[in-house]
């Protein structure tokens, strides 16, 4: 996605009380960063932050990490959070991080309870599929810091990505405990709409959604933060 450069984005983020400039320094210590004993959820590729702002406002007893590569997106997420959640600084952290190197900022001790992946780029060409945020290369990283029974909630408009992701989750030892090819019709209540979801819904596209559960029995993976 093309996004216009915003020279004010970085300074505005750096003055924000819930922006983390060096997330890798908190690896293994995210619970201490919040200091409230609440479960930890994260959104990968939060974009403009409509979803995380709604979820944070609805769930003050959950801590949230919102991650994107681009400061131009994160600064809009910051503004969304400030508008919707008066308590954001107590239980939300925003950060810039390449998700393909997510283990640089999360360790098994961080025990993430839930990951949200919403409308990640579909990377349809065979040679690019390894960049998908649901590719086995990624799922094996997430397993390292997802707690036993932890969940991944995944939404997309893309049929091919959804179908192949179902296979990826199976290959990596996740159990699919919920899936629908038409989220609006399914009546599933728990997932706030994202900016892309609203756009694709207006275009008449059906939203695909699944919940995958990490089954740690008999599945072992190892990664070092440098990989």
Ligand X SMILES: C[S@@+](CC[C@H](N)C(=O)[O-])C[C@H]1O[C@@H](n2cnc3c(N)ncnc32)[C@H](O)[C@@H]1O
CB nearer to ligand X: pick between 118 and 140:
118
CB nearer to ligand X: pick between 67 and 214:
67
CB of 168 to ligand X, least distance (A): 16
CB nearer to ligand X: pick between 75 and 120:
120
Specify the 3-state DSSP secondary structure of 63.
Answer: strand
CB of 215 to ligand X, least distance (A): 25
CB nearer to ligand X: pick between 1 and 61:
1
CA distances from 190 to 153, 178, 194, 218 (A): 10, 12, 13, 30
CB of 32 to ligand X, least distance (A): 24
Token pair 């290369």 is at which residue? Answer: 137
Token pair 């919102």 is at which residue? Answer: 66
Does residue 84 contact residue 115 with C-beta atoms inside 8 Å?
no
CB of 65 to ligand X, least distance (A): 12
Token pair 């004010």 is at which residue? Answer: 8
CB nearer to ligand X: pick between 119 and 174:
119
Quote the CA–CA distance of 117 and 78 in Å, as a whole number: 18
CB of 117 to ligand X, least distance (A): 8
Quote the CA–CA distance of 130 and 133 in Å, as a whole number: 8
Does residue 209 contact residue 181 with C-beta atoms inside 8 Å?
no
Does residue 150 contact residue 112 with C-beta atoms inside 8 Å?
yes
- Where along the sequence are the contacts to ligand X (CB under 6 A)? 1, 45-47, 68-70, 73, 98-100, 118-121, 194-197
Quote the CA–CA distance of 220 and 211 in Å, as a whole number: 21
CB nearer to ligand X: pick between 80 and 194:
194
CB of 121 to ligand X, least distance (A): 5
């Amino acid at each position: 996605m093309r996004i216009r450069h915003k020279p004010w984005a970085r300074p505005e983020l750096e003055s924000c009380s819930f922006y983390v400039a060096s997330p890798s320094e908190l690896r293994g210590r995210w619970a201490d960063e919040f200091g409230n004993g609440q479960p930890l959820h994260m959104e990968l590729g939060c974009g403009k932050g409509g979803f995380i702002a709604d979820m944070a406002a609805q769930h003050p007893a959950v801590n949230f990490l919102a991650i994107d590569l681009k400061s131009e997106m994160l600064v809009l997420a910051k503004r969304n959070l400030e508008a919707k959640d008066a308590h954001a600084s107590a239980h939300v952290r925003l950060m810039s991080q390449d998700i393909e190197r997510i283990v640089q900022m999360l360790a098994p001790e961080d025990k993430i309870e839930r990951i949200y992946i919403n409308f990640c780029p579909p990377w349809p060409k065979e040679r690019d599929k390894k960049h998908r945020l649901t590719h086995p290369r990624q799922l094996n990283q997430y397993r390292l810091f997802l707690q036993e029974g932890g969940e991944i909630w995944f939404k997309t408009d893309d049929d091919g990505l959804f179908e192949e992701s179902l296979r990826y989750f199976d290959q990596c030892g996740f159990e699919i405990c919920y899936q629908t090819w038409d989220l609006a019709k399914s009546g599933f209540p728990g997932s706030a709409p994202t900016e892309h979801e609203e756009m694709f819904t207006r275009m008449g596209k059906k939203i695909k959604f699944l919940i995958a559960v990490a089954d740690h029995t008999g599945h072992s993976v190892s990664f070092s933060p440098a990989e």
